[in-house]
Amino acid sequence: MTVSAVQDVHIAAGAETEKARAAGRPRLLTLLTIITPLAVLGGLYMALFYARMDVTQGEVQRLFYIHVSAFSGAFVAFAAAVVGGIQYLRTRQTRWDTLALAGVEVGFALSLINLILGMIWARPIWNTWWTWDPRLTSAAIMILTYAAYLMLRNGIENPETRRRFASVYGILAMTTVIATLIITRIRPDTIHPAVIGPSPQNAQGTFEFGETMRATLGLNSAIWSILVPATLMWYRIRLQNMADRVQAMKADLLSK
């Protein structure tokens, strides 16, 4: 590729960026950009100051509201990746692969938040940062599975082959998410609390949920399951669309 061709790519990419800025963000995305951070801060305030302190675990239990909610958001994002993968295999439309990629990347980030907060919570409660508990192990396997998805995409050069393999992989990887979700019900040897159950007896290791706790968990779950993944995935899709346009212009210039 000549120096002039490289310059042409940069000029074209800059022009495309200016067009995007001129067009502006969709109004709904702009609204989400404002509402989502404010909602996250509001939920964090409720977790830290509004919800009553658990008498057994103390202040560290406040991590629970974000820890659980982050996993809820990851589940939604990974489910979106499954939808994107299925639709891509059906239609071969690139936009569905872009949705799947956005879902995996956002879900991966939220899963890391869930795991890191869980480790911080475990340190004073279990006196260790990590233990090979079935729930913790399944969460780690889930994260490594999606890390492998990202490496798989980067390791395949042919775009069509990459999208097809990634779609199948993303669909199958959802089994690790489901396993992580239900493992506390099917493995009695786990020390991880099954916090929410049909009765206090079935919710092993739970807290005595008061009104403030239920309200805080409900609000944070809604924020992290709806607003956070929707906003982050939308931005990731826009970024990928811009990258695809730049690659298309580059390929067009190289073919001349």
Sign for the CA dihedral angle at 9, 12, 15, 17 comes to: negative
Q: What is the pLDDT of residue 209?
A: 60
CB burial of residue 91 (10 Å; 0-12, 13-18, 19+):
exposed
Within a domain: 16: no
Domains of the chain: total: 1
Domain that holds residue 170: 26-254
Distance CA 244, CA 256 (A): 19
77, 99 contact by CB (below 8 A): no
Q: What is the pLDDT of residue 12?
A: 44
91, 100 contact by CB (below 8 A): no
Within a domain: 98: yes
Q: What is the pTM of this model?
A: 0.84
Spatial CA neighbour of 241 closest among 111, 93, 104, 110: 93
74, 178 contact by CB (below 8 A): no
Q: What is the pLDDT of residue 122?
A: 84
Q: What is the pLDDT of residue 107?
A: 97
Within a domain: 15: no
Q: What is the pLDDT of residue 229?
A: 97
Within a domain: 13: no
Q: What is the mean pLDDT of each run of 10 residues along the chain (256 residues)?
A: 42 47 73 96 93 81 91 97 97 95 97 94 85 88 96 90 95 95 78 56 50 89 96 96 86 76
Sign for the CA dihedral angle at 182, 188, 194, 196 comes to: positive
How many C-beta atoms surround the C-beta of residue 85 within 10 A?
A: 28
Where do runs of H (alpha helix) occur along 51-133? 64-91, 94-126
Buried b (16+ CB within 10 A) or exposed e, 138-176: bbbebbebbeebeeebeeeeeeeebbbbbbebbbebbeb
Q: What is the pLDDT of residue 10?
A: 43
Q: How far is CA 7 from each of CA 21, 245, 256, rounded to the nearest angstrom?
A: 21, 16, 15
Q: What is the pLDDT of residue 193?
A: 66
Distance CA 117, CA 104 (A): 20
CATH number for 151: 1.20.120
Within a domain: 245: yes
Within a domain: 54: yes
Q: What is the pLDDT of residue 134?
A: 83
Within a domain: 131: yes
Within a domain: 20: no
The SS3 assignment for 58 reads strand
